[in-house]
């Protein structure tokens, strides 16, 4: 038996007009969200890039300052007394204790220098196991550096300056009888050459035998001078008393 349309239960639903209106409203909302996202997403990405570059810069400077702070007074051979250290404005070579998960007891010759790659300027750290060098041999010819690690990427550039106890900064440190007492690390923006506030100074605490002997001699000389002055004072007092009597 067929049921008539009047006897069918009421079926709820959307009309075609309501469906089209809902689709239109959804499209407007999505378009507004896309416009807003297109405006703030580039700024968000630039902010993330700046934060990542700042973190990478801080880590690189921490690694470099730790390396330079561990510089040791080590002559290149038994005949020479000058330390194995060579510094220029864009590179520095020095000796420190071996560092690394697989490093054994011994010394490393470390070079931190500027190089270039496809992205621009980079600061690279490389190392070599220390061994006695022939007299008169250059570091570049005799030391085979390996294990390069990029510490600093563009747009940052790193330069070095060196100072003795007088704190007079020099752009190079070659064939010196002692290590510098401080090394200045200057970080600049490669595009604008503007010096950044993260630039810092590393103190070198290693002392060579010549410096220690000079310090001891200077201390002994000053102590002797003080003792002689005291003796002269005692003698003058005794002579004054004798003259008075």
pLDDT in tens, 17-42: 778 888 888 888 888 888 877 776 77
pLDDT at 233 over 50: no
Helix (H) or strand (E) holding 240: helix 209-244
94's tokens: 């020095």
Peptide bond into 155 cis (omega under 30): yes
pLDDT band at 172 (very low <50, low <70, confident <90, very high): very high
Residue 94: closest CA among 139, 59, 40? 139
139 backbone φψ class: left, alpha, beta (φ>0; ψ -120 to 50): alpha
Residue 173 to residue 164: CA distance in whole angstroms: 10
Average pLDDT over residues 43-64: 85
Which token pair is 238?
A: 């005794």
- pLDDT, one tens digit per residue, over 68-111 is 999 999 999 888 889 999 999 999 999 999 877 666 778 999 99
Q: What is the reported pTM?
A: 0.69
Contact in structure between 91 and 162 (CB atoms under 8 Å): no
Q: For residues 124 and 148, is the Cβ–Cβ distance under 8 A?
A: yes
């Amino acid at each position: 038996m067929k049921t008539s349309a009047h006897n069918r239960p009421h079926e709820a639903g959307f009309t075609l007009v309501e469906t089209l209106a809902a689709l239109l409203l959804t499209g407007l909302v999505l378009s507004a969200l896309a416009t807003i996202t297109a405006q703030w997403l580039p700024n968000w990405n630039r902010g993330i890039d700046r934060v990542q570059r700042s973190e990478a810069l801080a880590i690189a400077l921490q690694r470099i300052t730790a390396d330079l702070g561990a510089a040791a007074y080590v002559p290149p051979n038994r005949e020479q007394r000058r330390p194995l250290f060579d510094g220029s404005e864009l590179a520095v070579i020095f000796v420190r204790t071996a560092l690394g998960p697989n490093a054994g007891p011994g010394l490393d010759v470390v070079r931190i220098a500027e190089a270039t790659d496809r992205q621009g300027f980079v600061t690279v750290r490389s190392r070599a196991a220390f061994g006695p060098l022939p007299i008169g041999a250059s570091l570049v010819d005799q030391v085979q550096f390996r294990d390069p690690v990029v510490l600093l990427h563009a747009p940052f550039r790193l330069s070095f300056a060196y100072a003795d106890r007088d704190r007079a900064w020099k752009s190079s440190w070659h064939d010196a009888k002692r290590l510098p007492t401080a090394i200045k690390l200057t970080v600049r923006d490669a595009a604008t050459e503007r010096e950044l506030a993260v630039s810092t100074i590393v103190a070198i605490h290693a002392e060579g035998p010549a410096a220690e002997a000079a310090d001891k001699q200077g201390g002994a000389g000053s102590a002797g001078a003080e003792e002689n002055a005291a003796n002269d004072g005692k003698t003058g007092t005794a002579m004054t008393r004798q003259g008075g009597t």
